[in-house]
Structure 1
Amino acid sequence: METDVRFGATWHRVTEFFDLVHSPGASRATDLTEVSGRPGTSELVATATVCDSLDAPLRRVVVRVHDGKITPVDDGRVSSHAPSWSPDGTRLAYLAVSDAHDRNRVCVRGPEGDREIPLPGTGESCVWTPGGDSLLVSVADAGADKAGAEGSGRRSGPSATGNWLPTVETAATRRPGRSLWLVDPASGALRPVSAGRTVWEAGAAGPGRAVAVLSEGPDESDWYGAHLALIDLATGVAAPLHRSDRQLGRPAGSPAGTWIAVIEADCSDRGIVAGTLLLFDHNGQCRPVDTEDVDVTGVQWLDDHRVAFSGIRGVGSVVGVHDAASGETRELWATEAGLGDTHKPEAYVRSDESVVATVQRYREPPAIVHRAGSGTIVLATTDHPGTEALRSRIGDCRTLSWAAPDGQRIEGLLVTPAGPGPHPLVAYLHGGPIWAFRDRWLGSNPLIGLLASQGYAVLCPNPRGSSGRGPKFAAQVLGDVGGGDCGDILSGIDHLVDTGAVDSARIGVMGGSYGGYLSAWLVTQDDRFKAAVPVAPVTHWRTLYHTTNIRQFVPNILRAEPFEAGDVYDARSPLTWVGSVRTPCLSIAGARDLCTPAAEAEQFHRALLDNGVESTLVVYPAEGHGVRTFPAILDYCTRVLDWFGRFMPAGR
């Protein structure tokens, strides 16, 4: 495989596809998340994804949604996100990065004028206190680790004085962390309130209090053991409220602080939390909420007793509301469409319990809709002239289910290209493992639509361990990585072969993160695959444990400590069984990946070569956990298409 693939026919096809997806340079929104409504009005804001050029990273921009139009709240030239209205609806706050030096600030827009308040690090979240006189802003220090869900690597900071300086680590090394700050939007004054602890997420909890997920240590691995606490905003004193052997996310208090809500779940990545909604009363007593089989991903208080939630059920999205006083739960909207962003369904619920959300499906680009009762009105859409051209190429998507070897029903999505089958098949495996595919524009990754446009069917399975089927289903992967989930995937492929939908002689596999692990693992266990593309893979659990920045994730998922040779760390590692591989593998990694370091892909590649198996290793110097920025995306997609085209061509 060539080092530079920019001059081949595949590169031009890939570039044309992404030109249609993003219309670069037109300042057009290609995705919409973080929808928020102005209290007492119909005005909406959201965070849009904008592509300036296929030679530059995508940007996020806070936008207004009005009369079917999507327009930036400011000049649209800076990156911004996390919009939040004050409780009285008079002021809008959001986070922005002002220039190439990544100077972060809080922007407040209101009738008294606009103010920009510099922050001592990278702002990650921004919420108003109930009285509307202050903002709670979570800030990451320069050099703090980014979550794997947002690409891993580190938050930017001041340039080093020389590139020869070493990185030095000892037991006493002070690591960058995260803190909570109280910001006065009128004066611009900032005050830290987290008392030296690491605050991963925070929300208001009534007058003078915040509720936070925090830990003593600042490392990304410390998040897996973080607990829930109430913070006195005047003194910074944190009072523990809840400790769990699972993970916690989305803390939020009712306006008067009578109730506290948080989501508890077994999690793979910080930022991807889907599980049980817990409520705590004023005495600290905890009770789980019956959300009718929904794995909750989002929480929003409507008043001091009604809490709205969004989440996953099966491959669909659900929005509901729970009355903490009466114990009643009502479902407001259930849809097979994808709500919210890639990692979690989310919605804004008005006080009248109508819903505003971003909605999309495989053939329908993101749109913001208003749902009241059974009626849905489209308020704005990202549809543009390139959309119809894409629809003519990407085939269709449907929900699929099949029986696993042990009889369990497994669900997934099947994308099929235009024309009669049987088609060559790529099994595209999601990360996590506690995550799930949902029905989204072009698939959860545009590469899925791109593969379909080139004649490939794509199976997107949600094997055991996935979200959307409740905590017991998700927990089945714990202690059994590459076990039952492996059988779920292979039985799904068998089902498609048996129905005549796919060609058994042209089956490939790929995936990222845990999906990269399964892609490497499956080719050690089954010889049916003609080509494989492990992306950001785990190839040996023991080496991962000693090199990853999320070390606690490893014993969490394996349910074992790495102290004995021959245990699950060896038995369920692709590197252990590499001698049985005959499948050509294209391994992809990012040099800045702290979650699954590039060495994981490199050692698998070298072992394959030693075993006489065709293998190519591609490491992107500026990428982290997965390939997420242009123009690296174009290069990555070109190599994937060429790899499958070489070993299992689609015949187009």
Structure 2
Amino acid sequence: MDTDVRFGATWRRVTEFFRLMHSPGELRASDLTEVSGRPGSAEVLATATVCDSLNDPLRRVIVRIREGELAQVSDGKADSHAATWSCDGTRLAYLSAADPRRGHHLCVQGPDGCREIHLPGAAEQCVWAPTGASLLVRVADPGADKAGAEGSGHRPGTAGPANWLPAVDTAATTSPGRSLWLVEAETGATRPVPCGHTVWEVGYAGPDRAVAVVSAGATESDWYRAHLSVIDLDTGVATELYRSERQLGRPTGSPGGAWIAAVEADCSDRGIIAGTLLLFDHNGQPRPVDTGQVQVTAAQWLDDRRLAFSGMRGLASVVGVHDLVSGETRELWATEAGLGGLHEPDAYVQPDETVLAAVQQYRKPPAIVHRLAGASTVLVTATHAGTEALRAQIGDCATLSWEAPDGERIEGLFVTPNRPGPHPLIVYLHGGPIWAFRDRWLGSNPIIALLASHGYAVLCPNPRGSSGRGPEFVAPVLGDVGGLDGGDILAGVDHLVDAGPVDPARIGVMGGSYGGYMTAWLVTQDSRFKAAVPVAPVTHWRSLYYTTNIPRFVTNVVRAEPSEAGGVYEARSPLTYVANVRTPCLNVAGALDLCTPATEAHQFHRALLDHGVESALVVYPAEGHGIRTFPATVDYCTRVLDWFTRFMPADARSGR
């Protein structure tokens, strides 16, 4: 494989695909997320993703919807997101960075103009007080780890005294933490809230208290054992409210402070949660909310009586509201379309229970939709000049279900190209394992639509362990990685082969993170795959435990300690069975990845070569967990297409 692939025909085709997708240099939105409404007004804001150049990272800007068009609110040269209005609608706060490599700061716009407020670190979250007089800001210390869902790596750090000095780690080494700051909206005055814990996520719980997910330790791994505490904003005293064996997120209190809500679930990644919505009364006693089998991903208080929520039920996105007085839960919207952001559904619910949300499907670009009493109105779409050209080449997407070997019903999405079958098939596996595919524009990753545009069908399965079907659907994977979930995936392939739309002689597999693990695992267990692309993979659970920044993730999913000889750490690691592999593998990693370090891909590559298997290793020096930025994304997609074309070309058929 060439080191430089920029001058080939595939690179040119991939570049054209992304040019049509992003319209670089035109400040056109290719994605819309984080929708919010201005209290007392019809004004709607969102975060738009824009592309300045296919040689630069994508950027986010805050936009206002006006007469079906998007008008920019934030600085056009900065990366800005997380816009939120004060309760009276007079002030707007958001996070912004002229250079994201230096970290985000807080911006507050109001009657007196725009104020930039810099805190000692990178601002990660801002929340308005119920009074609108102040904000809570969660700040990451310089050098703190980023979550895997953000791409891993570190927050911007401070320069050391000399660049040759070594990094030193001992039992006494302390990690950069995350602190809580109070900001006065009118003056911009700031003060720390010294709660004595690392603050991972925060919400107000009345005017003078906060509720937060906190831990004593500051490492990324400590998040997996974080608990819920109530923090007095005057004294900083933190009082433990709830501790769980699972993970906690989305803490938020009712405006008057009488009730607190949070979500509890088994989670793979910090920042991604889909689970049980819990309510805590003034005595701190939790009770689950009956959400109609919806796994909740976001919660928002409408007033002291009503709690709105968004979440997943199977492949559907659902928005509802729970009345604490009557105990009634009502669904405001349920749709097979993808609501909210990439990782999970979210929506903004107004006091009259109007829903504002970003909505998209495989063939429908993101749109901001107003939903009330069952009627939907599109306020704006991200459709642009390149949309129709993309639609003409990406084929179609349909939901699919099949039966696993033990009789469980498994769901997924099936993308087919614009040509007659039987098609070559790429099985695209999601990360986590606790995550799920939803119906989104061009697929959850644009490489799905790119593969379809080159003649490949793509199966996106949600096997056991996936979000959206309750804790009983997640639980079987914990302690059984590669077991039932692997069987679910292979059963989906068998289903498509038996049904006839795919060519059994041309089946490939790829995925990232846990999907990278499953890719490496499946080629050790099944010889049907003609080519594979493990991205940011786990290839040995024990080596991962001792090198990752999230060892508690490993023990959470493996359900065993690495000091135990043999056992699941050996039995469920691809390296253990590498002698079985006959599938050519393109192993991809980011050099900055702290979650699944590049050594995981490297050792699998080396073992494949030792056993005479065709293998290539591609490590991107400026990428972390997954390949996310341009121009590396164009390079990565070029190599993936060339790999599958070489070993299972779309224009060749088995003659079945």
Which bin holds the TM-score, normalised by the shorter protein? over 0.9
Alpha-carbon RMSD across the aligned residues, in angstroms, is 1.0
Task: Structure 2: give runs of 5+ residues left out of the alignment.
Answer: none
**Distance in 2 between the 1:227 and 1:34 partners?**
26
User: d(CA) in 2 for partners of 1:506 and 1:178?
Assistant: 48
With 182-191 and 528-537 compared, the bigger mean Cα shift is at 182-191
Aligned counterparts of 2:32 and 2:475: Cα–Cα separation in 1: 31
Aligned length: 652
Q: Distance in 1 between matches of 2:43 and 2:447?
A: 34
Aligned to 1:546: 546
What is the identity, as a one-letter code, of the residue corresponding to 1:257? Answer: G
Match of 1:146 in 2: 146
Matches within 5 A, 1:520-559: 520-559=520-559
Closer, same or farther: CA 536–101 of 1 in aligned 2, 3 Å: closer
Q: Which residue of 2 aligns with 1:362?
A: 362
Aligned residue identity for 1:198: T
Once the two structures are TM-superposed, the CA of residue 638 in structure 1 deviates from its matched residue by 0.2
Measure the CA separation in 2 of the matches of 1:643 and 1:159: 41
What 5-or-longer segments of structure 1 have no aligned partner? Answer: none
Q: Deviations over 1:188-245 (max 9, x none)?
A: 2111114231000000100100000000000000000000000000000000000000
Maintained 8 Å contact 1:310/1:346? yes
1:120 aligned residue:
120
C-alpha separation between the residues in 2 aligned to 1:345 and 1:579?
42
Which amino acid is the alignment partner of residue 122 of structure 2?
T
Aligned to 1:302: 302
1:103 offset after TM fit, Å? 5.5
Q: CA deviation at 1:570?
A: 0.4
Residues 338, 103 of structure 1: CA spacing in aligned structure 2 closer, same or farther, 3 A cutoff?
Answer: closer
**2:596 aligned with 1:596:** yes
Q: 1:180 to 1:490 in 2, by over 3 A?
A: same
Q: Distance in 1 between matches of 2:585 and 2:404?
A: 26
Shift of 1:101: 6.3
Cross-structure match for 1:7: 7
Identify the residue that residue 517 of structure 2 maps to in structure 1.
517
Deviations 1:341-365 (A, max 9, x none): 1101000001011100000000000
What's 1:479 paired with?
Answer: 479
- What is the CA distance between 1:172 and its match in structure 2? 1.2
Q: Is the 8 A contact 1:144 1:155 kept in 2?
A: yes
Q: Secondary structure in 2 aligned to 1:552? A: helix
Deviation at 1:99, TM superposition (A): 4.0
* Mapped partners of 1:535, 1:10: distance in 2: 20
Residue matched to 2:207: 207
Alignment-derived partner of residue 617 in structure 1: 617
Tell me which amino acid in the other structure corresponds to 1:425. L
Cα deviation for residue 499 of structure 1 reads 0.6
Aligned residue for 2:643?
A: 643
Alignment partners' CA distance in 2, 1:580 and 1:187 = 66
Q: 1:341 to 1:563 in 2, by over 3 A?
A: same
| 2:76 counterpart letter in structure 1 | G
- In the other structure, the counterpart of 1:421 is 421
State the identity %: 73
Change in Cα spacing, 1:101 to 1:385, as seen in structure 2 (3 Å) is: closer
Shift of residue 65, structure 1, vs aligned partner:
1.5
Alignment of 1:122-201 (within 5 A): 122-201=122-201
Q: 2 CA distance for matches of 1:497 and 1:520? A: 22
Contact 2:35/2:46, CA 8 A, preserved across alignment: yes
* Paired AA for residue 634 in structure 2: L
What is the rounded CA distance, in whole Å, between the counterparts of 1:638 and 1:215 in structure 2?
Answer: 42
TM-score for the superposition, normalised by structure 1: 0.99
Partner of 1:448 in structure 2? 448
Partner of 2:380: 380
Residues 1:627 and 1:257: Cα distance change in structure 2 (over 3 Å): same
SS at match of 2:90: coil
Are 2:74 and 2:80, in contact at CA under 8 Å, matched by a contact in 1? no
With structure 2 as the length reference, what TM-score do the two structures score?
Answer: 0.98
- Give the letter aligned to residue 629 of structure 1: T
Secondary structure at the aligned position of 1:509 is classed as strand
Residues in 1 aligned to 2:172 and 2:75: alpha-carbon distance in whole angstroms: 45
Aligned counterpart, 1:630:
630
CA shift, 1:285, in A, is 1.3
Instruction: Name 1:506's counterpart in structure 2.
Output: 506
Once structures 1 and 2 are overlaid, which stretch shifts more, 99-108 or 321-330? Answer: 99-108
User: What secondary structure sits across from 2:477 in the alignment?
Assistant: coil
Q: Could you give the per-residue CA deviations for residues 10-40 of structure 1, whole angstroms, max 9, x where no partner exists? A: 0000000000000000011111111111111
Distance 1:594 1:581 in 2: 27
Indicate the SS of the match to 1:605.
helix
Quick check: 2:79–2:100 contact (8 Å CA) kept in 1? Answer: no
Q: Is the 2:575–2:607 contact (alpha carbons within 8 Å) kept by the matching residues of 1?
A: yes
Distance, in Å, in 1 between the alignment partners of 2:98 and 2:118 is 10
Question: Residue type of the partner of 1:44?
Answer: V
Q: CA deviation at 1:62?
A: 1.3
Give 1:453 deviation, angstroms. 0.0
